[in-house]
Structure 1
Amino acid sequence: MSGPAGRMVAVVLAALAVGGCGQDLPSATAMCADTNALVLIAQAVPDAESIPCFPEMPYGYRTTTFDVESGHAEIALSHAVVGLDAAVLSIGDTCVLDEEEAPVSTPERGHLEQHLERTDSGGIGGWITQGLGDACLVITLDLDHAQGDRALDDLDESWTLLSREDLSATLHAETDGLLGLDPS
């Protein structure tokens, strides 16, 4: 089988083969057009009603880590000026912050909560959480550079949420109806 359906079947089979194991996929991106990567996120966190993605990669950023395991997905973005892991997007069943031992409460669907602080260098650090139904998006920011404000603006203006229904319809169309996102 070749073409999009063949590639999608291969990705699904690979995802099934790794099961609950963490899988680092550095070639994957958080681009809205990267259906394979978004399907892996949606399957790993089935309670997420939406999946965060970028219609276009934010200026200066690139995906450096794409890690998916049962109940959790993480995408690390590096910035050309700010450095490695400038922003880390974590999608999971709970809102877990790196510096917190216990999860924080998940915001209501669509609501953002944030804790951002100015760093000594004039940059920005902290976190943002957003409710995704029964799941949570945590964005951890380490923009500790004089250009931190600009890097945050570029990131903030570039991401969106793709609904599970829209992702399912895209997958269905790309595989000529052979694959669906959620079992029926």
Structure 2
Amino acid sequence: MATPDFIRDLRESIGRQLLWLPGVTAVVLDDEGRVLLGKRVDTGGWSVIGGIPEPGEQPAETAVREVFEETAVRVVPEGVVLVEAMPPIRYPNGDVCQFMDVTLRCRATGGEARVNDDESLEVGWFALDALPELDAYALTRIRRAVEGGPTWIHGLDAAPTAQPS
């Protein structure tokens, strides 16, 4: 994902130290039940589409913007799939970030999938039984988006260990 200007400005003050950021992921499904993926320039791997909200931008707005910017596909967000703090990531330049990810299930409404910016090497639609190699977290987000059900919030999914007195 390209680094937004406001984060570059922050990095001038804080250097490479840990930066806590919001992140939005869009699991985009089409009418055939396929999922939209992008092959990332920075890692060379396939992933669901996502990015960092601009200051003041709502998560649904971020999903719509990021999907279109990266793939030229138009979407409508349909629901929150999960909310989870990701482990810290150290980028090749030494920057350290940790993201609070909000994953949204989105329905494709138009456009043709294509590389639409400099963040992707390829983009494409994939049947759920023919996905390329993806990390475990991407697979979890896809599975939860397809299954539906309540929003999964890390830390609230287990039964309580003690009863209140």
TM range (shorter): under 0.3
Which one has more relative contact order, counting CA pairs under 8 Å at least 6 apart?
2
